[in-house]
Amino acid sequence: MAPFGLETTFVAPGEIVIPDVLTAEEAQEDFNILMDAYVELFPSFYDIVTPEQFEEFKKTSLAKLQSDISYKDFWNVIWSSTSTELAHDSHLSLLTPNPWEPVDGDEYKGNLLLGAIEDSLFVTQALEGAEHLLGKKVDSLDNESASDVIRRIKGMTTGYDAGVRSKIDRLNLVAWNRIYHNRLTEPRTTRVKFSDGTEYIDVWQKSGRGGKYIPALSYEVDYYKRMLQSYSKNWEFKDLNDSTVLLTVNTFTLNDVEVDDIVSKIGGNVQKENMIIDLRLNPGGHVSAMNRLLSVFIDTTSVALNQYAMVNSNASYESFKYSLNYDQSIAPFEGFKPIEGKKGFYSDSEYPVNDIVPDSLVHYPGKVYILTSDQSCSAATVFASVLVRNHRAVTVGRETGTAYHYVTAMKFADIQLPNSKIQVHIPLVKEVFDDVVNERVPYGRGLLPDYEVPVTYEEFFTAENDIILKKAIELIAEGKYLGEDPFEVKGNAMLDKPSGRKSLYIYLLLGILAVGGAVWVSRKKK
């Protein structure tokens, strides 16, 4: 401002001071502000939690806030609201760092690391000298039954949509730290009781001082080797044999040159009978890149879906008072309109996949097998869903991390709680991809695989081969591909959502049939 002769009004932001302790009043105020923000801002909130569950969560949490509470313990309360216990979502997150995480490698570990598959808790890794205990089934840990441990760690999962289960399954196996509430900064002694009646007293030591764990999680294990490669390669083609090619796409955050290169490479492989597309480590990205690649695989104009976007208000929000990126003078969704009889405000989807037309130059006509996992999220889920919805591909592996029917994303409010300064990233727009509900796409779940490969210990700890890719290759060899189209009109239900022109035609048709039926019955009686 000074060059124009004006006195500046800029005020430099002050340093955020994190309190060591919050009073009961401060903690309760912050907690209630966040609960109100969830209800006001987050349009998918009641898709995830019932009003009764919400009230129970508030009651249980407020009981912990009746006296002074440490910042670290209060952080846990807020963090739990972003987990299975309440408002978990792949686009909802806690921006404030975890104060319980070890700093500069100051971490303690036991001689035994534990994980779970379904209802079994067992030893997944052991320090040298204790490797004879590998794989042993655990009956209790510090007098907490194995079933209670598994139930508790399921409740600690964050970053997944609706009723998606695949992320819970993977983390229950590999995220041993959750068993100990992520508190790894102090020494401890744990008592492990095995199902055969034997016990092991595990004295924890600082990480790195007790030798090596067996098995070692090295890049010799295929899962971690692919994980490393995904950081450096956005995409890759690989010939598997004379009839099959593998296209790995690790992100849809691709520029035009990368997309053109992929399309060109596909064009050079149109003679291959089978293409496997690996999206297992793809977190999503640009809609434009995704749609361009989809156009290479669809045979005709894509199925028209009843897509829409929904928000809770087209005015400003009271919770913007605590937002770091919006203020109360802003109404970000003024163009959204109400629909009579429906809650919320509606607009066209910002994630459009309707009416994608086949690419005019490159078309892959062969069989398409898509590899998916809980780490296939956002655009990666939509890509696979579009091809499945058009009966153009089958999926192999596991349920996707993003729900099939909707994703809550696009715009976000970063809420900072006034006393604790904890920041929560809350999505504002519910994007509905499809409104059909059937056995193939049950509501609230991710895109389920046509051919499931269950979570196994070997895949994440010892296997040097790609178990899910191997399954896809076996399916090709056996000639297993598409069955009947599960999206034919029979057996499909519709979500309770805004009725577009397509729905109106359906209702008119049903009305005509009903009237005709009534006339026919009347004549029969006469």
Give the residue carrying structure tokens 């209670």.
148
Of the candidates 270, 293, 269, the one whose C-alpha atom is nearest the C-alpha of residue 282 is 293
**Of all residues in the chain, what percent are helix, strand and coil, respectively (each to 5)?**
30, 20, 45
CA atoms of 378 and 142, how far apart (whole Å): 39
pLDDT, one tens digit for every residue, the chain (526 residues) = 444 455 544 444 556 789 999 999 999 999 999 999 999 999 999 999 999 999 999 999 999 999 999 999 999 999 999 999 999 998 999 999 999 887 766 789 999 999 999 999 999 999 999 999 999 999 999 999 999 999 999 999 998 898 999 999 999 999 999 999 888 888 999 999 999 999 999 999 888 766 899 999 899 999 999 999 999 999 999 999 999 999 999 999 999 999 999 999 999 999 999 999 999 999 999 989 999 999 999 999 888 888 999 999 999 999 999 999 999 999 999 999 999 999 999 999 877 787 799 999 999 999 999 999 999 998 999 999 999 999 999 999 999 999 999 999 889 999 999 999 999 999 999 999 999 999 999 999 999 999 999 999 999 999 999 999 999 999 999 999 999 999 886 556 666 545 433 333 333 333 433 434 443 434 434 3
How open is the CA angle 182-62-316, to the nearest 5 degrees? 95
Written as six digits, the tokens of 153 are: 């760690």
Tell me the torsion sign for CA atoms 278, 280, 284, 285: negative
Tell me the torsion sign for CA atoms 441, 165, 49, 319: negative
Judge whether 451 and 358 are in contact, CB under 8 Å: no
Q: In order of start, what are the domains of the chain with their CATH numbers?
A: 108-214 (2.30.42), 217-305+353-402+446-483 (3.90.226.10)
pTM score of the predicted model = 0.86
46 SS3 class: helix
Burial of 394 (0-12, 13-18, 19+ CB in 10 A): buried
Number of Cβ within a 10 Å radius of residue 171 = 22
